Amino acid sequence: MLNYTFQFGTVWREWPLLVAGLLTTIRLSIISMVLGTVVATVAAAASVYGSRALRVSVLAYVEFTRNTPFLVQVLTVYLGLPSLGVHLSAGDAAILAMTINIGAYGSEIVRAGIESIPKGQIEAAKALGLRPALIFRLVVFRQALIAIYPALASQFMLLMLSTSIVSAIAVEELTATANTIQSRTFRTFEVYFVVTLIYIALSLLFRAAFHFIHVRWVRVR
């Protein structure tokens, strides 16, 4: 029998905390998207153009990251690195773990994009006298980006949702904020319900933003 009075007011009264948590979630997501894309591009370029040793090490990085849980990666970075003498704040550890994660997933996507560029175009660019770096930037990367943008965007959406996992190492993002509020008000169900709604709104916002970027800058008109 449901003998429980729902009180959403107590949750809304904590809105400054919720806003701070929301902003942290957005900040963590955007920083690791940018850093992760850099790692993904470097790893993909290394696995396409690199020497055999480089290819094998990128493969090991990608496979190991894709086949272990993100939570374990977060714990390894946050708890494990100090014993190697690297001390990171919880926030920095979270960004590092997310960058490693998105770098591995992203590199597979970027690699598929690079490999989708016809060889003839690269040969044509060479024949026109372009340097390798310029060929990669103008001929390969730009076209690859257009081809892979949708896949990359949906990977970013997954990353944004997985930021909730870094609450496990006490980064004060949205999920951790929910935990704080619930331990303070004991309005457990209400807090998680409201925060779930905020995540849905955030998903829709990110999707709209990715769509806007696609239409405005990426799509070929």
Partner 1 sequence: MIRDFSTGDLLLLLLAARWTVALSLIAFAGGAMAGLAVALARASSAAIPRYAAMVYIELFQDTPLLMLLFVVFFGANVLGFQVSPWAAASIGLTLYGSAFLGEIWRGCLESVPTGQREAAKALGLKPWQAMVFVVLPQALRLSIPPTIGFLVQLVKNTSLASIIGFTELTRTGQLVNNATYRPLAVFLAVSLIYFALCWPLSLASRQLEKRLGQPLV
* Residues within the interface to partner 1 (CB under 8 A): 1-4, 63-64, 66-73, 75-76, 79-80, 82-84, 151, 161-165, 167-168, 175, 178, 182, 188-189, 192-193, 195-196, 199-200, 203-204
Tokens of 200: 């849905």
* Residue 212: CB minimum distance to partner 1, A: 18
CB closer to partner 1 out of 110 and 165:
165
Measuring CA to CA, how many Å separate 43 from each of 6, 7, 60, 135? Answer: 50, 50, 11, 18
Instruction: State the CB neighbour count (10 A cutoff) for residue 144.
Output: 22
Distance CA 125, CA 136 (A): 10
CB closer to partner 1 out of 36 and 125:
36
How far does CA 194 lie from the centroid of its chain?
23
* Residue 63: CB minimum distance to partner 1, A: 7
* Residue 132: CB minimum distance to partner 1, A: 29
Distance CA 101, CA 155 (A): 11
* Residue 124: CB minimum distance to partner 1, A: 28
